[in-house]
Amino acid sequence: MHKVLVVEDQTLLCDLISQVLESNPALKLIGAVGDGMEAYESCLKHQPDLLILDLVLPSLHGEELIERLKRKKVQPRILVFSGLQSSARVKRAVELGVDGFIEKTASLAELESAIDQIIHGQTYFSAEVVRIMRQLMIRGGQGDSLQSITSREREIVKMIAESYTTKEIAQKLNISTKTAEVHRAHIMNKLNLHDVAALTRFAVANGLIKVETGK
């Protein structure tokens, strides 16, 4: 029996995926969590065989979760279940070695098929994700501006988009205000973005921050 951990911060989706898993006698649901750090700790404790993972999570981003697990030699098979499929996101997920990637708009039948194929040692990527992967291959992976900035710079972009001032960013990162200003200038130069609004759109488009909808 394959042990499965669901990592999804949208309660309705998390419950739905859990129901799908519980209906499959080959699978054992060992947990359903909505926080990246909680997921990391659960993986270390329970060693799941399969991780069904949203990439945009509170406390610890999905990509960083995968990287941390790799460093700990904990390597479950991973099915990314994401609402965002930017080329940068797909490229990074593939680089991290995920076993599948489907959209949250996928049908239950497709989700079940993806899970079944992955637990049997295969991979599963949705048609849209495959299309993006082909585009990346054609252009040699170029043009993914998210990949042009470091993890620290991504962190700063996220904080800028969340309306932190340069001084507040410096305090949070335990660096000088001058260093924070230099980071900000380098980021804008690398991304060819020149104001907070543009950086915020970039952060949203690449899943660095979440936006509330339907209000």
pLDDT band at 212 (very low <50, low <70, confident <90, very high): very low
- Please give the average per-residue pLDDT across 164-187, as a whole number: 91
User: Which of residues 205 and 164 earns the better pLDDT score?
Assistant: 164
Q: pLDDT tens digit string along 103-156?
A: 988 999 999 999 999 999 899 999 888 888 877 766 554 444 677 788 888 899
In percent, the amount of the chain with pLDDT more than 70 equals: 92
**What are the tens digits of pLDDT across the range 189-203?**
888 787 887 788 788
Q: For the CA atoms of 155, 67, 112, 212, what is the dihedral angle to 10 degrees?
A: -10
Determine the pLDDT at residue 140. Answer: 54
Distance CA 50, CA 118 (A): 8
Lookup: tokens for 93: 């997920």
pLDDT of 101 above 50: yes
Collapsed DSSP state (helix, strand, coil) of residue 165: coil
Of the candidate ranges 85-89, 153-157, 167-171, 209-213, the one whose mean pLDDT is the lowest: 209-213
Between CA 71 and CA 59 the distance in angstroms is 18
- Burial bucket for residue 113 (CB in 10 Å: 0-12, 13-18, 19+): middle
CB 208 within 8 Å of CB 215: no
Cα distance between residue 47 and residue 91, in whole Å:
26
- Cα dihedral sign, 183-143-161-69: negative
Q: Which H or E run contains 153? A: helix 151-161
Average model confidence (pLDDT) across the chain: 86
Over residues 6-31, the pLDDT tens digits come to: 999 999 999 999 999 999 999 999 99
Q: Tokens 């080959």 — which residue?
A: 26
Contact 78, 51 (CB under 8 A): yes
Question: Given pLDDT bands bounded at 50, 70 and 90, which one contains residue 213?
Answer: very low
All domains of the chain, ordered by start, with CATH? 2-138 (3.40.50.2300), 149-205 (1.10.10.10)
Tell me the β-bridge partners of 31. 5
Mean pLDDT of the 52-63 span: 90
What pLDDT does residue 190 have? 80
